[in-house]
Amino acid sequence: MADYEPYQQRQHHQAIPKETALQALNTIIQLHFEKTLEKKRSIDLQKKELHKLFQLFFIFLGLIFLSQAQSSRLQCRHCWIPIILLSLSHLTFYVSVAQTLRCINGFKYQRRCHKLTLGLATEKLREMKMRTSAGAGEQFDGVVGDDDFEIHYQEPPESYFGKFKRNWALHFAFLISIYSFMVSSSVVLLCF
């Protein structure tokens, strides 16, 4: 073990050519840029899926509303049938929307992490290029440490999650209002 520690310390303090360091940072930047674009495409696909869910759900609600309005056989004592049907359909839709929003929020979080890491890597590359253009020569002051071109994965602050909570609250407040409107309109159509 004693032989390993001096070797590890020597590895830490070896001089690294500027081309190698710049290439490593460029690779990190390219990777996180591609990941950012990939997450954006995933978010867009999930949003399209969410819009399709809403369209199908509103068509279904329209059909239920239309069938209640045109039915002469349904009376006030049969009010429980459309209410149960609406409750089950809203519950199913709620679960589908929750899953889709969970995916969207996960992709948004990952995209934000990649964007933060991309920004840090770009800043380190800019600093490194400024040092080399200032006349540091072939090596960065003779030594480049891990801190000079090692980029750790960045995560947003805790306050970033508030955005997701607001998004959930808006979607589900809308769903609850639609549910209450449909139940009350069913009762009005059948009982009054």
| pLDDT digits 0-9 by tens, 134-183 | 765 544 454 455 566 678 888 999 888 888 889 889 989 999 999 999 99
**Bridge partners (DSSP) listed for residue 17:** 139
At residue 32, does pLDDT exceed 90?
yes
Q: CB pairs under 8 A, 24+ apart, for 9-12? A: 12/145, 12/146
Per-residue model confidence as pLDDT tens digits over 77-118: 888 888 999 999 999 999 999 999 999 999 999 999 999 999
Give how far Cα 148 sits from Cα of 48, 115, 118, 132, 182, Å. Answer: 42, 19, 15, 13, 61
Interval 39-47 mean pLDDT: 97
Taking the complete model, does pTM exceed 0.85, yes or no? Answer: no
Q: Looking at the predicted structure, is the pLDDT value of residue 71 above 90?
A: no
pLDDT of residue 102: 94
Predicted local distance difference test score (pLDDT) of residue 7: 46
